A and B are shown apart, each in its own frame.
Chain A
Amino acid sequence: GDSVTQMEGPVTLSEEAFLTINCTYTATGYPSLFWYVQYPGEGLQLLLKATKADDKGSNKGFEATYRKETTSFHLEKGSVQVSDSAVYFCALKVGNEKLTFGTGTRLTIIP
C-alpha cells in the first residue's frame, strides 16, 4: 500500500537557521506530493505541492522538489522564523484524492 515516512521530531532550531525535513514515500501509482502545516489548535493548511517528477513546490520561503528517482520530497527553508513553529506533515495522493500522511514533524524555532 501507499505510505509516507518522514523525519521524526521534535526538531528545534535557532531563528535564521537552515531547515530540512526529510520525507520519502512508497506508492502503488504515480502520486502527487504535498506538505501540510498544522499550527497549535488548528487544522491543516496546505503549504506546497508538486504533481509530477522534478516539479518544485514553493510557498512562504519553503521549497520541496519531487524526486522520483529517490522517492523523496524533502522540505527546506533557508532561514526559519519563530512563526514557523508548527507541525509539518508530508502527504501523498494517488487517484481518488485520499491523502496518505506521514506521522508529522514538530518544529520549534527559538529566538
Chain B
Amino acid sequence: NAGVMQNPRHLVRRRGQEARLRCSPMKGHSHVYWYRQLPEEGLKFMVYLQKENIIDESGMPKERFSAEFPKEGPSILRIQQVVRGDSAAYFCASSTRTAQRDTEAFFGQGTRLTVV
C-alpha cells in the first residue's frame, strides 16, 4: 500500500508563472489536507478537502491560491502568478475519517517550490 504521493518533489517557477502541485492520497483515504512550511517554520494549515468538496479553506490566501480534489485523480493545489514569497515546502496529508480523536494523518514527502 503506497503512502501519500506528491509530485513533483521539486518545482522551480519564475515570478508570474503558475505552479500546480499534485497529491495522491493513500488508498482508501478520502480526506486530504494541504499544509505549507516556510523556511525554518512549522507547518501552517491551508485547506481541507473531501472528494469534490472543500471542507475548510480558512488557511488559504484569498487570492491566487486554489485547491481541488476531483472524484477521479489526485488533489491539486494551484498557485497562480507566483511570487518569491510563495517559495516553501507544500505538504499533503490524507486520512480515512473525520472528527475522530485518534485518527492519524499520513504525510507525503512534500513539494519544494522555488520561485526565481
List residues of A whose CB falls within 8 A of some B CB: 4, 32, 36, 41-46, 49, 51-52, 89, 93, 95-104
Q: What are the residues of chain A within 8 A of B108 when measuring CB–CB? A: 43
Residues of B within 8 A of A32 (CB): 101-102
Contact B98 A101, beta carbon cutoff 8 Å: no
Is A43 touching B102 in the complex (CB atoms < 8 A)?
no
Q: Which residue of B lies closest to A98 (CB)?
A: B45
Contact with A along B102-116 (1 / 0, CB 8 A): 111111111000000
Count chain A CB atoms within 10 A of each CB in B6, B43, B110 and give the residue with the most.
Answer: B43
Min Cβ gap A21→B in Å is 13
Q: List 8 A-B contacts (CB under 8 A).
A: A42-B110, A43-B6, A96-B98, A97-B31, A97-B95, A97-B98, A98-B45, A103-B42
Compute how far the CA of A110 lies from the CA of B44 in the bound complex, rounded to whole angstroms: 30
The answer to whether the Cβ of B91 comes within 8 Å of any Cβ in the partner chain is yes
A97 touches B109 (CB 8 A): no
Select from chain A the residue with minimum beta-carbon distance to B47. Answer: A98
The reply to whether A99 and B105 form a contact with Cβ atoms under 8 Å apart is: yes
CA distance A4 to B4 in the complex (A): 25
Contacts of B20-70 to chain A: CB distance below 8 A: 31, 33, 35, 41-45, 48, 55-56
User: Known: A43-B107, A97-B31. Is A102-B42 also a contact (CB below 8 A)?
Assistant: yes
Question: For the complex, what is the distance from the CA of A93 to the CA of B31, rounded to whole Å?
Answer: 15
A49 touches B42 (CB 8 A): no
A45 and B107 contact, Cβ closer than 8 Å, known pairs A96-B98, A99-B45: yes
